[in-house]
Structure 1
Amino acid sequence: MWSRPAPGWSDSPPHPGPRLMLELDGALADQLLRAARVHDLPAEILACDLLSQAVEQESLRQRAEAALNRLTPREREVARLVSLGYTNRRIAAALVVSPETVKTHIRHALEKLGVRSKAELRLRLSEMGLRHWPEPAPAPLPAPARLPLDLDLPLR
């Protein structure tokens, strides 16, 4: 049994079997109780639903991170641009590569993420909850060109 039911909470868990007891600070507990009243649900049920949703979202985030870690940095960048709706030609221009290279990166990303088309790729990335892509590292600046100079200048 529960040691001390909080106001608005029943004196037994919502489901038989294993139980989890959460301690909430006063403000969060008050918000939960208000939301339960608004939705006409027992607070325990609402708390379980919210916790279940949070666990599911974290699981999605972890799967998305693992999936993206299977991609090379360039495949990840191409997938990011695909998810933003860029065409192959526009991706090629943005990354200064050929359209064929873009197709290759897309094909590899599709294989690694288990999808068959760019539309499925966009959907999969959306389902994974990818709202904020890590910004790609800036490309290093090319080394300055060294030109041989053979100047005959008078010394002063």
Structure 2
Amino acid sequence: MIKILIADDQAMVREGFGALLGAQPDMLVVGDAADGADAVARSRELGPDVVLMDIRMPVMDGLEATRRLSGGHSASPRILILTTFDLDDYVYEALRAGASGFLLKDAPAADLINAVRVVAAGEALLAPSVTRRLIAEFAARSPGDRPRPAALNALTPRETDVLRLVARGRSNQEIAADLVVAEQTVKSHIGRILTKLDLRDRAQAVVFAYETGLVVPG
């Protein structure tokens, strides 16, 4: 059973998402919160597996709440950012703070349900449309050339290729097709990449690839 906490300052959003997710046989909505501070407190009290986190909330925004909840340890909930199609200014920082992915607020119901399951399973959710906007946002604010960190030297050439494709927003299936390998092989490569670079999930791998200059926008 996936335990879910919904954090959004709009009551209709909380109620709508709660009703939809609560109707799923493998999901349990354990609570909700109208601001970031309450989200942190309720999450620590209720121990959800996934927190749906709006960014712009009163008292404490979703970015700070994400930072406080992520913590880097296994007991931390997975944070799924709620955002608009235009991509919130703070989404890039939310990824760095430990968020596992994005959910567009106007996404179809089936996408919401799938997003929660994907993130709960330990995967990252980076929709291609959001990834493209994330890249554009990063390009607009990032400095020029960056040194290549020594950590990248630990990757094999194939693992480096896989990381580049992950950063481009490609799915495992698309990466497998591009590299002419089995999808399970891609999953194995990604697992080794995360281990070698000490990254939590696919979302952090995307941030790492752009921050180190392994991949550049465009």
State the TM-score bracket (shorter-chain normalisation).
0.3 to 0.5
Q: TM-score, normalised by structure 2?
A: 0.32
Return the index of the structure with the highest Cα Rg. 1
Q: TM-score, normalised by structure 1?
A: 0.43
| Greater relative contact order structure (CA < 8 Å, 6+ sep) | 1
